Amino acid sequence: MTTVKFPRPILKNSKLLRSSAYVNGKWLNSSSNTFKLNDPASGEVIEELPEQSISELDDAIDVAYETFKTYKYTTPRQRATWLRNMFNAMNNNADDLANIISWENGKAYSEALGEIKYAASYFEWFAEEAPRMYGTTIQPSNPSNKAFTMRQPIGVCGLICPWNFPSAMITRKVAPALAAGCTVVVKPDSQTPLSALALAQLIEESGFPPGVFNVVLSSKNTPEFGARLCESRKVKKVSFTGSTRVGKLLMKQSSSTLKKLSLELGGNAPFIVFEDADLELAVEQAVASKFRGLGQTCVCANRLYVHSSIIDKFAEMLASKVENFVIGPGLDKSSTHGCLINADAVTKVETYTKDAIAKGAKVVVKGGPITKLGPTFYAPCILSHVPQNARVSKEEIFGPLCPIFSFDTLDEVVGYANDTVFGLASYVFSKNINNLMAVSEALENGMVSCNTGLFSDAAIPFGGVDESGFGREGSLHGIEEYTFIKTVILGNLPTK
């Protein structure tokens, strides 16, 4: 029996802790069925929430559809004001929101607080972008005709969000949608719904009209919810962050309505360290990239490729950093890292670890389950000299296993890095600008980060290629994903 104390959060603003769906500005408990939300650290039940039906989802879609008819005519400056209010509200309630994330997700409080600051920044950024949806003027070949374009909101957007960033993955989609003049139906992961509901409370307080932001809840019916959002003709756009397998299914389901999609899917990020790299910097940034969220992010360094002349030194330095981690309950402020999301995540990490070791990988830090804390706590494992035939070279780990591969030449490591179906993020470390430029151009990824392991920012386009999906979130391009271009032609005008 464990004697570890798992604290429960004490919120300053009790209104942020909700357990009902939110539709048309109302909190709904209409469903007779419920599902349990468990604390991943302690296993204790946090709350029971309504297991909504497809008909209740249809009601939410109908509300968003009707609300869009008026919301799209609100001025960009008005929407910017509401978005700015939301940015301020999140920052004013940052401590409470971070506690909610730690409680339902298991990540350390310090990481959860960082997520809230990052999540809020999207409302600030798109408050500034809302008035800047510019069109173009065009002179057609006929001199008596004039043409111009305008960007218009696409309509109701279905937003399907993951558990690993239960606040930021919502705001990264919601902020540009609301800025453009769209209405949304948000489906949070059933493992982390409380963060979405806390955002709904703040959306209400920020002045957005009822029906603009709606949250539907389901665990058992999640596949059916996804299908309905994709197949409904009233929903004009679906944005999904999650696995490639599910992304492909949603894309297939959306084909019946030729729906606009944004898909941010799996990753297999290479982290390349050349012989001339600043080793201290590379190790520091490897820790930040690989072990953020205990490795449970799509842009985590999944495969570390280190030049053969420095691989042992790099592994030794990395081990010294990792051994200073304090793993414990996320709500314990002394913890640097929390737990994994569930028992399946633990099994997955152990499977990849055993496979790599069986194929010849060298154990640098053993790591493994921390049973005295609970079944979802796992200490990081570091392996070096991992062979290319190990499963981790091709598959996403999503956990605290750090495999280090060896390479000798630029062409060799680029070949290794590109030998995957994924193309989300990548990292390159070198003091030689020629290496950085050559590798950046050669890597088949949507994002290349040079000499830094953390690059997420509301101002930067986020997204991948290949089986990591398509579409971009954040930046000036993010709002474009929630609009369409309309061309207007004025014909037979006088030329003199």
Helices (H), ranges, 132-278: 168-180, 194-205, 222-231, 244-254
Pick from 330, 374, 329, 427: which is nearest to 115 by CA? 330
The DSSP output letter for 92 is H
Q: Which residues contact 175 (CB under 8 A, 6 or more apart)?
A: 83, 86, 122, 123, 125, 126
- Say which amino acid occupies 342: N
- Catalytic residue (choose from 104, 115, 264, 467): 264
Structure tokens given for 456: 């997420």
**Measured on CA atoms in the order 110, 112, 114, 116, is the torsion positive or negative?**
negative
User: For strand 183-187 and strand 213-215, is the pairing parallel, antiparallel, or unpaired?
Assistant: parallel
Q: How far is 302 from 394, CA to CA, in rounded Å?
A: 9
Beta strands 269-273 and 260-264, pairing class: unpaired
Per the DSSP assignment, residues forming a β-bridge with 449 are 427
Extract the tokens encoding 275: 């012989």
Separation of alpha carbons 487 and 152, rounded Å:
11
For the sheet with 381-384, list strands across it. 362-365, 381-384, 401-407, 301-307, 269-273, 425-429, 447-450
Catalytic residue status for 204: no
Cα 53 from Cα 72, distance rounded (Å): 28
Q: Are 20 and 197 in contact (CB under 8 A)?
A: yes
Phi first, then psi: give them for residue 210, nearest 5 degrees. Answer: -55, 140
What residue type is assigned to position 125 of the chain? Answer: W
Q: Which residues contact 380 (CB under 8 A, 6 or more apart)?
A: 291, 294, 295, 322, 325, 365, 367, 400, 401, 402
Q: List the one residue out of 257, 62, 246, 241 whose CA is nearest residue 156.
A: 62
Rounded-to-integer distance, Cα 369 and Cα 267, Å: 24
**Catalytic residue numbers, as ranges:** 264
